[in-house]
Structure 1
Amino acid sequence: MKLGSDGHLRVYELDSHEWKEVVDLFEGYVRDCAYPTFCRQHGICSNGQCNCLASSERTSYFRQIDDRWPNLTCFEKVPLSCDAQAQDYDYPTAPLSTRWMINDPIAPLTIHGDGSMGQAILLQGKEAFAPAYACGFYCNGNYNSYFFAVFIIQLDNNGWINENSIPQVVWSTNRNNPVEIGATLELTSKGDLVLKDANGTVAWSTNTSTKSVVGLNLTDLGNLVLFDKDNTIVWQSFDHPTDSLVLGQKLRQGQKLTASASKTNRTFNGTISLSVNDNVLSAQVETNPPQIYFERGFPDLNTSAKLSYFEFENGSLSWFSDSTSSGSLISVPPASSTQYMKLGSDGHLRVYGFTYSYGWKEVADLFKGYVGDCAYPTVCGQYGICSNGQCSCPTLSGRESYFKLVEHRQPNLGCSENVPLSCEASKHQSLLELENITYFSLTPDLEKIDASSCKEACTKNCSCKAAIFHYGSNRTSGHCYLPTQVFSLMYIDNERITYYSIAYLKVQNVQRSHRLPIILGSSLGALFIIAIFVLAIVLFVQRRDDNQAEEDYLDQVPGMSTRFTYDDLKTITNEFGKKLGEGGFGSVFEGTLSNGNKVAVKRLDGFGQVKKSFLAEVETIGSIHHVNLVRLVGFCAEKSHRLLVYEYMSNGSLDRWIFHKSNECILDWQQRKKIILDIAKGLNYLHEDCRQKIIHLDIKPQNILLDGNFNAKVADFGLSKLIDRDQSHVVTTMRGTPGYLAPEWLRAAITEKVDVYSFGVVILEIVCGRKIFDRSLDEESMDLLSLFKKNAKEERLLDIVDKSSDDMQLNKLHAVNMMRVAAWCLQGDYIKRPSMSMVIKALEGIIEVQEDLDYDFFAQPSTSGAAGSSPMYIEVSATTALLPSVLSGPR
C-alpha cells in the first residue's frame, strides 16, 4: 500500500515480475476534484477539468505553465512581493523588489516557430489573434545566450503568446554582453533595473537608484518605462533605441539606430548607423570621418527653425521642428495592424508589417529610390567592387592580382589582400589605379586638390588604405577622400553621371630577388629533371598529408560549435555499442554527452567515397538551424575517421509509427496532420530560406525523425553536391529510393519539385498507414499510387484511409482532403506541382488546392531537359528563377 504524491492511497501486487495497481482505496470516497494537488497551485477543478483562476471584469492574473497539460499548475503573471511599494497596480506593471530569472517556473520559456526562445515577464495587449508587445528574456537559437529585450509577438485565441509565431525584437539591452540560463533581472528596492548574469556579474543597469522610481511598466506603444510616484517617466527604452523604431516612436537629435552584426547575430560592431544631426537624417558607416551613403534633411520652411525629431507614423517617416512645423520625409505603406522599422546589417532601412494570412513581411525599403543597389557600404564587403548588383575583386589586366574573394561561392562577402599591408614595409607599397571606381553615393564636401596630391597624401599616411579622387572635366582639380577602411567600391557609368572618379588602392608588393635563376636557365635538361623530381615529391606529400589538409580546412568552417576527437566519440557511444540504424553512407549509433544529453553519431564508411560529401555536410549544414530540421551538433575529422554528431530524436523515424511494425501506439489524425505540416516547413526552409537552396532527393518516412513530443524533423539532407551561384546545371547520377522518385528523373530537368513529389508519396503513406509498395497485399492493392488513382476515379478514397486507427476512421473526410494535397504534389508534370510554401498555405487553409488535378502521376513532364541518351545521367537545371541548390544523396 502506498500514499502517492497525488494524494491517492493505492494497493499494488506483484504479477509475473511486474508490480500492478490492484485498487485505489479512496475511490468512491474522494472525487477527482477533491484531491488537493489535482490541479496544483492556483488551479480550479470542475468536472475533472483544470483551469486557471480568471475574472471576466479584470485582467487575468494567472496562466497555465503548459497549455498542453492543464493539470500541471498555474502561476502568477506578476509574483506577489511583500516589499512592493505600489500595491494597486495592474498588469503589465511591476513594483519595486520584483525579480525574474531565466527559466524560472513562474515565467517559463517559450520556444517559437523559428527555434528562437523567449520568456515574457510583462505583456501589453489582450486581443486574441493580434500582435502585442512583451518584454523579457530572448535568444535566437543559442539557448545559453540571452538578451533582455522588448519584442512583438502574436497572441493566440486565449490572448496568450502563440508558440508558432516569430517574435520580432525591437529593442534590447545587452546586445554585446549576453547572459546565460540562471541570469536575473531585478527592479531593486532603490529603483534600479539591474540585469545580472548567472555568476552575479552586472550585465546592464538603468542606473536610476537615486531617482525615486516606484515601478516598471510596458506601454501600449512598446516603450519600457520606469516611473515615479507622480507617474512621471524617469527612464524609458525609447531614449535608448537599438536598431528599430516602432509606430509612435521618435528618433531625436543625437540619437541613432545601430545595425546588428548580421541577421542572426544581434550583437553589433558599430559599423552602420542611422542618426539625426544638424537637421539631417543620415545613414553612414561609423569611420573617422563617417562615410555617408544616405542623407536627407527637412524642408527649410523657416531659417530659424531647427529639426526636433523624426517620428515613425502610420503612413510616413515624418519630421517635426521646434517651430511646430512638420511634414512627411519618406512615405510608408499604411499599416492595417502593427509595423516596425529596422536598420539591417546590410544598411537597408526596412519596414515590416503583420498580416494574419502571411505573418511578418517586408512592406517597404525606405532607402529605395535614394540609394542605388551598389551604393550600400557592405553590399560587396571589404574591397569588393559592385557593378550592376554583381560583386568582384579589384583587378588590373597585365598586372598580378592583389586581391582574392573571401568565399568563392559568396562574392558579396568581399575580398581580402593576398599580401596584408604593413607599415614596416611601406617602401614596398604601391597604389593600384582603377578607373571609373567611386566610393558610396555621396561625395564629402572636401577641399579641392589635384590627383597627384591625393595619391601622395595616401602614400604618406600609414593608416590610409585608399585614395578616392572625384573630378570634373579634368584631373587638375577634384575632391580627395582617404578612407582608413575600404568597404564596397562602386563602378561608375559615365554616360549617366557627370563626374569622374578614380580609386587608388594601396597594395603591398611581394618582395622578389633581382637575381635571375642562372642555374635553371643554363640547362633545359637540368630543368626537366628538377621538374620530374618536384612532381614526384608533390604527389607523395599530397597523398601523405591529404587527411591533415582536410582537417586544417575544417578548422576554418564557421558555425560548428563542437569538434570531437575519435576517442571522445568512442567514449560517448560506449565503443559504438548501440546501433540505431544503417544507411547508404554508414551506420548511426546512440551516444550520451558528458552533460547527459543523448546524441546520434553517424559513422561514415568508405573514406574515399564520402570525403567531399563530408566536407559539404559540415560546411553547409553546420550553420543551418530550423525547428523542423535535425540539427548537426558537431563532427569528427581525425585521420581516416569521419563522423557526424546529430541531436537525438527519441521517437525514431516516422516509418515505425505509420507502418505498424510494433505494438506501439498508433498516431491519431491530429498527430499525423501536425507531422505532415512539420515536414513541409522543413522542406520549405531547405528550398526557399537557406542561403543556398538544398534539394533533399530522398524524402521518405525513414528520413523523417520524431522527437519526444512527435514533432517531425527532416534528416539526412547534408551529404550533398553543391551547385554554385554561377552554375546553371550539374550532371549527377540518379539517386533516391524507388517509389519516391519523380517521373522526370527519366529524362527531364531536376529541380526541387522532385522533393515535392516524394512529399506527396509520404502524405499518402501517413494517411493510409501503409508503404508505397506492399507485396503482402494482393496484386491490385500492392502499388499505393495505382490504388490511389483507381479509387480517386471511382470516388472511393474513403476506402484507403488507415483502417487500423479508429480516430483516422472518424476523420475520414479530413484525410481525403489531405489526399488532395498529396495529389497536387504528385502531378506528373513537375511544372504543375506547387512549391512547398504553397503546400504550407494549403495545409493551413489559406489557399485551396487546385481543382483540375491529373491522377496519372506517372505521366512525363511537358518539357524535356535530357542530358543524353543514358537514363542514368540527368541534367539538374536551375529552372524558372530557381536559386542555386545543394543536392543531397540518399542514406
Structure 2
Amino acid sequence: MTEWGNLVLFNNEGAIVWQSFDYPTNTLLVGQRLYEDQKLFSSSSNLWAPGLYFATLKLATGFATYIRGKGQPQMYYQLVPDQTSTTNRGPYYAELQQGGSDGHLKIFYHSNANRWREIVDMVTHDLGECQHPHHCGEYGLCRKSQCSWPIGIDWVRYFGQTQSQNGKRRQQTRLQIPYMGCSRITSFSCPRPFDQKHYLVEVRNVSYFNLIDKDAAFPNISDIDRCREICLLNCSCGAVFFRSNNNVSDGYCYIPSTVLTIREGPIPNHSFASATFFKVQIPYKAANGQVEGTVPDTSPPTSLSRNRRNLKAIITSSCAGALLIFVVTIVTCFVMLRPSCSEDGEDCMKQVPGTLMTFSY
C-alpha cells in the first residue's frame, strides 16, 4: 500500500502486476489517472452496482460527467483540458459524489492541519447549482437554485410539484420535496385517446443542461419545425429542446427519454440560443371554458393581457356604435320614403290590409 492509497502487487522480479489505481471507483486519488474510456462512477447504496452518475475521459469531448437513466446518458458537465498545461501533483483528489441526488464533482485538498478539505464543487462553480440534473427533479424548473414548475406562454399551469405520501400511524401527511420534481396535472396518455389532443406549449427563457452536448442531438434534424413535428409524432416524447445560433433552420434537436431539471436563463459560459416545448394533453373543455385538469393562473396580469382587454373593449364599443347608427339610418329612410296620406285618411286606409274599400258617388 502506497502513501496515497494505491494497493500494488509485485512479482518476484519487483515489477508491478496489478494496482488498484488502474481501476477507479468514485474517487481519483493523488497520482491516480483516468485513462480514455475509463469511467468514474458515483457511489451507490448497493456496493456491487454502479451509481447514477459517471465521469469519463474521451479524446473528442474531454472530461465529462453524465447521468444515467432511460435511454442515452445525458451529459451535464464538460471540461476540455489544456493540452499545454502541466499536471499539478499536489495533495489533491477528485470525487464524484451522489450525496443527496445531485452528482457533485468535488476537489479536495489534504494538509496535516486540516486533513481533507473541500476546495471546489466544479459543476456548481462553473455552471451553477441549476446545472445538476436532479436538483429539481423531473420537469422541475430551477430558478436561482430554487425549484418551481414550468409555465408556458399561454399562462396555463400544466404541472404541479410531485408530492410524497408519508404515513404516521393514522395520520397522512403530504410532503413537497424539490428533487422529486413535477408531474402533469392533466394525465398524459400514450397512446393518445382518439377524443383528445397532444400539442406543444412553449416555455420561454429556459434551457436544458444536456444542450452542452452536441452528440446527444437527434440525428439529421436541424430545423425547429421538423424537431417539433418529430416530438408530436412520437407519443412517448414528453418535451423537445432546440439549440441554435439564432437560426431556427440550422440547429440541434434534443428529445431526451427522461426530462430532468430545466434551468431558467441560458447556461453560463455558453452562447447558443435555445427553445423549449413541453407536450401536453388537452381533454374536453369544461362548461366554464377552462381546460379540465388545469389550474387557473393566479399571476398578476401582464401589460400584454391588459392591452388585449382594452382592445376588446374598444372593438365592442365600436361595433355597438356602428349598429346603432345603422338602425337609425334605416328608420329615417323608412319614414322619409313612406307615401303621405290625404287629409281625410282614405289613402292611409287603403294601405291597411283587410279593410273595406270605399267608393265615391
What's the TM-score bracket when you normalise by the shorter of the two chains?
A: 0.5 to 0.7
What one-letter code is carried by the residue in structure 2 that aligns with 1:221? W
Secondary structure of the residue aligned to 2:161 is strand
- Structure 2 counterpart of 1:417: 184
1:537-556 pair list within 5 angstroms:
none
Alpha-carbon distance in structure 1 between the residues aligned to 2:267 and 2:23: 43
Deviation at 1:364, TM superposition (A): 2.5
Q: 1:485 aligns with which of 254, 258, 270?
A: 258
1:188-587 pair list within 5 angstroms:
218-261=1-44, 270-278=51-59, 280-286=62-68, 288-299=71-82, 327-328=86-87, 334-335=90-91, 339-345=92-98, 346-355=102-111, 358=114, 360-367=116-123, 369-396=125-152, 398-406=155-163, 409-418=176-185, 421-425=188-192, 428=196, 429-440=198-209, 442-444=212-214, 446=217, 447=220, 449-492=222-265, 498-509=271-282, 511-512=283-284
Q: Which has the higher relative contact order, 1 or 2, with Cα contacts under 8 A spaced 6 or more apart?
A: 2
- Calculate percent identity across the aligned residue pairs: 31
Question: Given that residues 438 and 501 in structure 1 are in contact (C-alpha distance below 8 angstroms), is that contact kept between their aligned partners in structure 2?
Answer: yes
1:85-104 pair list within 5 angstroms:
none
Alpha-carbon distance in structure 2 between the residues aligned to 1:385 and 1:266: 32
What one-letter code is carried by the residue in structure 2 that aligns with 1:504? F
Alpha-carbon distance in structure 1 between the residues aligned to 2:249 and 2:68: 31
Deviation at 1:493, TM superposition (A): 5.2
1:145-224 pair list within 5 angstroms:
218-224=1-7
What one-letter code is carried by the residue in structure 1 that aligns with 2:86? G
Secondary structure of the residue aligned to 1:431 is strand
Deviation at 1:356, TM superposition (A): 5.4
Alpha-carbon distance in structure 2 between the residues aligned to 1:269 and 1:432: 37
Q: Bigger shift: 384-393 or 435-444?
A: 435-444
Deviation at 1:502, TM superposition (A): 1.9
Alpha-carbon distance in structure 2 between the residues aligned to 1:357 and 1:220: 17
Deviation at 1:251, TM superposition (A): 0.6
What one-letter code is carried by the residue in structure 1 that aligns with 2:42? A
Question: Given that residues 141 and 264 in structure 2 are in contact (C-alpha distance below 8 angstroms), is that contact kept between their aligned partners in structure 1?
Answer: yes
Alpha-carbon distance in structure 1 between the residues aligned to 2:190 and 2:148: 27
Q: 1:378 to 1:219 in 2, by over 3 A?
A: same
Deviation at 1:477, TM superposition (A): 3.6
> What CA deviation, in whole Å up to 9, does each residue of 1:93-119 have, x standing for no partner?
xxxxxxxxxxxxxxxxxxxxxxxxxxx
CA RMSD of aligned residues (A): 3.5
Question: Given that residues 259 and 268 in structure 1 are in contact (C-alpha distance below 8 angstroms), is that contact kept between their aligned partners in structure 2?
Answer: no
Alpha-carbon distance in structure 2 between the residues aligned to 1:459 and 1:466: 9
Question: Given that residues 393 and 405 in structure 1 are in contact (C-alpha distance below 8 angstroms), is that contact kept between their aligned partners in structure 2?
Answer: no
Larger Rg: 2
Deviation at 1:270, TM superposition (A): 4.4
Question: Given that residues 494 and 500 in structure 1 are in contact (C-alpha distance below 8 angstroms), is that contact kept between their aligned partners in structure 2?
Answer: no
Alpha-carbon distance in structure 1 between the residues aligned to 2:242 and 2:130: 18
Alpha-carbon distance in structure 1 between the residues aligned to 2:24 and 2:270: 37
Deviation at 1:276, TM superposition (A): 0.9
Question: Given that residues 384 and 394 in structure 1 are in contact (C-alpha distance below 8 angstroms), is that contact kept between their aligned partners in structure 2?
Answer: yes
- Structure 1 counterpart of 2:168: none
Question: Given that residues 436 and 494 in structure 1 are in contact (C-alpha distance below 8 angstroms), is that contact kept between their aligned partners in structure 2?
Answer: no
Secondary structure of the residue aligned to 1:455 is helix
* 5+ residue gaps, structure 2: 165-174, 289-361
What one-letter code is carried by the residue in structure 2 that aligns with 1:342? E
> What CA deviation, in whole Å up to 9, does each residue of 1:303-332 have, x standing for no partner?
xxxxxxxxxxxxxxxxxxxxxxx624xx79
Deviation at 1:244, TM superposition (A): 0.5
TM-score by length of 1: 0.27
Q: 1:462 to 1:243 in 2, by over 3 A?
A: farther
> What CA deviation, in whole Å up to 9, does each residue of 1:599-635 have, x standing for no partner?
xxxxxxxxxxxxxxxxxxxxxxxxxxxxxxxxxxxxx
Secondary structure of the residue aligned to 2:130 is helix
What one-letter code is carried by the residue in structure 1 that aligns with 2:18? W
1:610-625 pair list within 5 angstroms:
none
Alpha-carbon distance in structure 2 between the residues aligned to 1:403 and 1:350: 32
Secondary structure of the residue aligned to 1:453 is helix
Secondary structure of the residue aligned to 1:284 is strand
Alpha-carbon distance in structure 2 between the residues aligned to 1:226 and 1:426: 63
- Structure 2 counterpart of 1:857: none
What one-letter code is carried by the residue in structure 2 that aligns with 1:444? K
Q: 1:401 to 1:283 in 2, by over 3 A?
A: same
